[in-house]
Each structure stands twice: as C-alpha cells, then as structure tokens.
Amino acid sequence: MKTSKSVIAALLSTSLFLAGLAGAAEQPATTAETDKTVVAKSKRETSTADHSKYEELQKQFKQGQEVTEACIDCHTEAAKQIHKTKHWTWEYTNPKTGQKLGKKNVINNFCTATKTNMTFCAACHIGYGFEDDSFDFASEKNVDCLACHDTTGTYKKYPGLSGHPAYEPYEWPAKSGKFKPAVDLQKVAQNVGKTSRRTCGACHFFGGGGNAVKHGDLDKSLENPSRYLDIHMDKDGLDFTCSTCHSDGKHDVAGSRYHTQASDNKGPLLRGQKDDRNPATCQACHGDTPHEEDERLNTHARKLACQTCHIPEYARSPQLTKMSWDWSTAGKMGEDGKPMKIKASSGMIAYDTKKGDFTYDRYVIPEYKWFNGEVLYTLFGDKVNPDEVVKINDFRGEPNDPGARIWPFKIFRGKQPIDAEKRSLAVFHTAGDDDTAFWQNFDWDKALTTGMKAMGTEYSGKLSFVSTEMSWPITHMVAPKEDALSCAQCHNKNGRMQGIDGIYMPGTDNTPLLDKLFYIIALLALVGVVIHGAIRLINDRKEAE
C-alpha cells in the first residue's frame, strides 16, 4: 500500500503541476486593451505636432488623394521619396543577377501573379487607383499616406477597390452580405502618426491572401506580441516596431527578400550614422561577436546565420501557417453542384473550390541551407521542366562561398499551372467580375487565355500543373535567448544540420577509419585486461597450492 500511495502522490503532484499550467493558460489577458490605450496615448503625447489642429485637415475629404494633397502641402518631399521605393513601384532590379523582380514581375506559388488581378492585389499598394498599366506612377497625389500612418486602426483597404479604402459601405467578402463601414478620412487624417506593427502588418501579416499564410514568421499575433513570440517586439519589453529595424530614412525600407543579405561581418551600427550598411541585419545592433561569455558560440556565427539558432521554430503563435497550396485540384464542386469549402481539424480551410487544397502547420522546424546572398527567380517566360520541382526562387550558396551562412527557411510547396507547350509558368486571371475570372466560372482555359494575353503572349491551350517550391528566409519571431537551439539539437545523429555539406558536425558526422581505430584499441585493451587478470588468477592459485 505504501508503494501505491507513493505512486498516487507522484501522480497527484504531476496532475497539480499540469493543472496549474493549464489554469495559468486560461487566465485572460485582461490588461491588453488598457495597455494598448496607454501606449497609444503616450505616443501621441511625445509627438510635437497635433494633426487634429491643422486647418488643412478640417475638411470633409471625399477621396484619399485629397488627403494626400493636404499632406504634401507641408511634407513636400514625402511623395517624391515614396516614388523611389519598392512599396510604390512594385519593381526591383536585383543588382547581382539583373533580374527584374517586384510584385509586378514575380510569379509566386500562392495567388501566383498580380497582372490581371490588380484591383484586388492593389489593396496592398501604397497608392490610389492602381488597376492596370495605365496607373500614373508619377502622380504625387496618388501616394497613400494613410495606409502607413493611420493610428486609428479604422483605415482599411479591401481587395477589389484598386488601392482605395471604402468610401461607402463595402460588401466584403464579396457576396457575403457583410458590409464594411466607410472610412472617415477626416478622422484618420487628423490622427496620423508613426508607422506601427499594425500598419505594416496590415499587408505583411496577410501576405498570400490571409493571416500567416505566406511568411511563417509574420502574422497578426505580432501586432501585440508577448516575450515568447519575439524578444524584440515584446509589447511589455523592448516593444520594437517594424521600423525600429527596417527604417533607412527617406521613406525607404531596409531589408528585402528580393535581395536578402546573407551575412554582415561588421560591428554594431550607430543609429543616425551615415553608412550604406543595411540597418536591418542582426549584426547592425549586436555586432558579429555578440556572445560575450562563450567564444565558441561566436565561432559558430562564422557559419550560421543568427536566425538559425535564435528562431528555432517559426509560426509559434497559435495561428497556423500555410505550408502547401495545390491549384490542380481547384474547381471541384460540392454535392449540391455549388462551390465548397472543407475545413481541416484545426478549423483552417483545407479545400476551397476557388483555390484547391491547402495544408497548414504551426511550431514548424525550418529547413536549412547555405545562402550566400544570391537569389535567382524563375520568372515568366523562363523554361521549366514539368517533371522536376520548379524552384520559384533559389536562395543559392555553397559552403566555401564568401559570406555564405546556413540559414533557416520556410519552404512553401505547391502545384500551379504551366503552359505545357511553352513550358513556362502560366499567369491566369483569378479575381474579377468578368466571365474569364477563374473564381467566376472555374474555367482554366478562359482564365489562362486572359492572363497570358495580359502578359503579352498567347496561351497555347495546353494546361499542365507543375510542382513548385518557394523559399522564405526566416528572420522574425526571434525567441528569448534561453529558447535558442541547444547544442544537442544539432550535434546529434538526428540533429537539424543533417544533409548540410561543408561542415564537420561532432555528434552527427563520423570518420569510419577513426571509428574502427577506436574500436580496435578498445578491444585490444579489453583483451589485455582479461589476459592480465587470468594470469594473475592462475599465478595466485599456483602460489596457494
């Protein structure tokens, strides 16, 4: 009975511990709203300008451009600066590869391409009226100041409005019967302020068409993150906004996935110091030997990106990130002959007639590979092999490349249409009111004919689907240092760096000759001990006799 009681006691203590943990999890974050108000108020109080007192902003604005005209009356250079940024042009020429990238040119394996879907995609353009190639990129009043500088949280740009907010109640999602309220431009204009995690996140948390879909390390939970999720953005700690790292002055934004910097071997960058360096690298604050108490860790930094150890898993919020998208199954109807949606156990959409099959995951272990800073995209017109997995973007690198580091990636896998005759990734018309939009009639031929025509070519009429991979370097959701990768998570037979060339990993790798030598020496030692012991035993017996 004593044993039984001790077993019960052990179970009791374990259960109490677990119950305590579970109980703690259920405690509501009652102070979150209060904190938000206080933070907003204190930020307002530190500003030297109260825009609600400006005469120019007392008007009843009818359109966003009217607000911009008022803004650039005082901020005379702002629109000109914006015009030079990727956020405005949606174009970027990679200086190393010469490839023309940016949202205007790249085909991804999510919603694929913007070309014929601009009225929808432009919800994330910092301009007004971007619906086709006729958009006036030289116009200053077309710049949308409020998308980034709204502090009210009421300024929202919905798909289908070509980058405008809703000036009157707007039905969204389409045909849902739910109407979003019209924006109060005067209120928003009078309450402008610095950019915030919310304003940047309005687009970047929703990349790929929904919360947490695209990046894996960026989702809505970062609007108000706790310590565990991101040590830098922790709302109760350092409380970094996106611009704390990504600000490069003159409305430009440092850091880009089109041209990701693989390594930075310089010391910390003094903020405000004139320098061509990218201020968004880890080293720009921490230097390249940040581990003061352990030089061995600093030597690791010569081969590993900081993110490899300090972001051990991505999608660590309760929100699941999308891991795959199979367009080839799109178009299947439900038993009633109507478009259908099927939910996964998690509650996420696993199948949508409009889009095909999806998979999701959370707390995902990244995939690791060498990266030297060179990224090569598969662009429209590039020949693809339909029998192989097409890399939408290839983050390149070899162990001996200068500046190459082992980086963590989210690899998003998909199946998407190609023009089988041209052997090129295909562009199709997805959204819109016309009858060629795939989401209207689920007719691939019509959608591809319109999409390819918009790209300046003809669709051959031969559709096929190809497997694709798109890499997303993981660089947000930096864990507290105590949660960084431990030695054994890599230095292990099943460790994380399996398959990575160019490094010798104690604990993972072995040298067969050395191993054999060790076993031979150990065996000889054992034989020696046995023989020695036997001789001693025999001698002792002889002496006793």
Partner 1 sequence: MLKLLGGFIAGVLFVAIIAMNMAGGMMIREVPSPFGLEETAARIQANIQKLKHKGWKLSGLREPSKAVAAAGSNVPPVLLVEACSTTYSKPLLKEDASRILSIMMPCTITVYKKQDGKVYIGLMNAGLMGKMFGPKVSEIMAKVQEDQNTFVDFDPSKPPPPLNRKRPGGGAGGGPDTGGC
CA 310-312-318 angle, to 5 degrees, is: 115
Instruction: Decide: 415 and 327 in contact? Cβ < 8 Å.
Output: yes
Structure tokens at 488: 């054994």
Beta-ladder partners of 247 = 253
For the CB of residue 484, give the shortest distance to partner 1 in the complex, in Å: 10
Q: Which residues contact 32 (CB under 8 A, 6 or more apart)?
A: 224
Q: Where are the alpha helices (DSSP H) in 75-154?
A: 78-83, 86-89, 118-121, 146-149
| SS3 category, 145 | coil
Question: C-beta of 479: minimal distance to partner 1 in Å?
Answer: 5
Q: Kindly state the smallest distance separating residue 283's Cβ from partner 1, in Å.
A: 24
For residue 528, the number of C-alpha atoms closer than 13 Å in the C-beta half-sphere is 6
Minimum CB distance to partner 1 smaller for 317 or for 372 = 317
**Torsion angles phi and psi, residue 329, rounded to 5:** -100, 0
Q: How far is CA 464 from the centre of its chain?
A: 29
Q: What is the closest distance, in whole angstroms, from the C-beta atom of residue 55 to partner 1 in the complex?
A: 47
Q: How many CB atoms lie within 10 A of CB 451?
A: 26
Closer Cβ to partner 1, 69 or 234, answer by number: 234
For the record, the structure tokens of 167 come out as: 């000036």
- Residue closer to partner 1 (CB basis): 15 or 76: 15
Interface residues toward partner 1, by CB under 8 A: 3-4, 7-8, 11-12, 15, 18, 20-25, 27, 226-229, 312-313, 316, 318, 320, 342-347, 350, 359-365, 479-480, 482-483, 489, 494
Least CB distance from residue 224 to partner 1, whole Å? Answer: 13
* Start-to-end C-alpha separation, the chain: 55
With respect to partner 1, which residue has the nearer C-beta, 155 or 409? 409
83 vs 227, beta carbon nearer partner 1: 227
> 4 or 48, CB closer to partner 1?
4
The amino acid that residue 248 corresponds to is D
| Minimum CB distance to partner 1, residue 1 (Å) | 10
Residue 29 or 270: the one with the smaller Cβ distance to partner 1 is 29
CB neighbour burial string for 130-141, b if at least 16 within 10 angstroms, e if fewer: bbeeebeeeebb
Closest distance to partner 1 from the beta carbon of 11 (Å): 5
The DSSP secondary-structure symbol of 484 reads: S
Dihedral (CA of 359, 365, 371, 374) sign: positive
Q: Which is nearer to partner 1, 101 or 477 (CB)?
A: 477
User: Which CB atom, from 350 or from 455, has the smaller least distance to partner 1?
Assistant: 350
Quick one: how far is CA 212 from the chain centroid?
8
The least distance separating partner 1 from the CB of residue 344, rounded to whole angstroms, comes to: 6
Interior angle at CA 167, CA 162 and CA 170, nearest 5: 75
Residue type, 9: A
Nearest residue (CB) to partner 1, 431 versus 485:
485
> Least distance from C-beta 321 to partner 1, angstroms?
12
Answer for the pair 416, 451: CB distance below 8 angstroms, yes or no. Answer: no
CB of 285 to partner 1, least distance (A): 21
